[in-house]
Amino acid sequence: MSNALQSENDSLLFQNKSATAIPYDSSALRVWFILTISVSLFGSVLLVLLLSASCRFRELLLRGSCILIFHSMLIQLLICAVICPILNISSYLTLINNTTLVHCPTLIFFNTASDHTDNWAALFLAVNRFVAIVSPHHYDAWVSRKVLICMIIIPWLIGISDSLPVYFGIGGQTIIGPAGCAFETDVDGFYGTLWFVIGAYIPIGLMGIIYTILFVRIGTANRNRPNLAVPFEPNGQNARLSTTQKRQISIAKMLIGSFAWYCICFLPGPIIVSLFPGVYAVDQMLRLWISGLLGLCGFAGCPIIFLASSADYRTGVKGLFRMI
């Protein structure tokens, strides 16, 4: 694709692309739209509950990992409550009216930048858990103010910087296809693939390695625990260490479960776009089901996993309801 494509010419290009609309099942489209809005609302409410509980009960923000979890939930709330609804409403209006009311390059930029920021924020959270479980004696250094600030800022820098070239037409072109705003990867280009490698494959791959190691380590520790004869003092140092270790392991299990759900919901989209870019051109509804609905289920499912796995978050949310 030529990099000379200018934003003022986008509307003409978009109308030409839309003129070749692919037939779709109107009933399936209505079902998809209702489900996406419902899942967006459901996920947003759950995320707001968890964030409110964290703000109201300060013990949920006193530990370094909880600060990173709070940051990750803020990114997910931005995606679930704002960006995805706009993207999905735009897709719906394009399919039923063959028009769109948004500037697609800007919307795709914010969508991909926030997605990639979320990926890297989740990676730094995984690193935090790895240090807490594998090297607890170095954990204090990893939750210092400077390190936590870096772990919050760096994902945004990566997400924004790797998406800016795409905004300016490097690696492909943003189009209004039959199903709304989309990024058409330049199959002969380099950056169209590098973009997904930086924003998705590297952080998700590293998270997979980290959580696999933690899963094996925790499983091994659980099997060996009955054979360990460690003196235990209910009111002494061992009791405090045991409580801390249990909390660290509990958070790790929670994040391992959320990562598994993350892979199920988010990997199909990047894999199809990178390896099979022509699939969505053949079946536009498939793109809507995978990128529009399945991704939203990932954001809505993670708060459920957090509540099911963490007694601290359950206590915080119960406290919120008792205040009503």
Q: How many CB atoms lie within 10 A of CB 165?
A: 16
Instruction: Check: CB of residue 242 under 8 Å from CB of residue 232.
Output: yes
Q: What is the pLDDT of residue 27?
A: 84
d(CA 246, CA 267): 31
Confidence class for position 34, pLDDT limits 50, 70, 90? very high
**How many CA atoms are closer than 13 Å to the CA of 287, on its beta-carbon side?**
25
Q: In whole angstroms, how far apart are CA 92 and each of 98, 106, 186, 207, 295?
A: 9, 18, 25, 34, 17
Q: What is the pLDDT of residue 36?
A: 93
Q: What is the pLDDT of residue 62?
A: 61
Greater pLDDT, 8 or 309: 309
Give yes or no for residue 49 having a pLDDT over 80.
yes
Give tens-digit pLDDT for 108-166.
899 889 999 999 999 999 998 888 888 888 888 888 889 999 999 999 999 999 999 88
Please give the backbone phi and psi of residue 103, each rounded to the nearest 5 degrees, phi first.
-90, 105
Using DSSP, state whether 236 is helix, strand or coil: coil
pTM of the model: 0.79
Question: Does domain 26-223+232-323 correspond to CATH entry 1.20.1250.20?
Answer: no
Give tens-digit pLDDT for 216-275.
887 776 666 544 333 434 444 444 445 666 666 777 778 888 888 888 887 787 678 767
Q: How many CB atoms lie within 10 A of CB 3?
A: 12
Please give the backbone phi and psi of residue 198, each rounded to the nearest 5 degrees, phi first.
-70, -50
Query: Token pair of 73, please?
Result: 């939930």
Alpha-carbon 101 to chain mean position: 26
* 27 CB-near residues (< 8 Å, 6+ apart): none
Confidence class for position 187, pLDDT limits 50, 70, 90? low
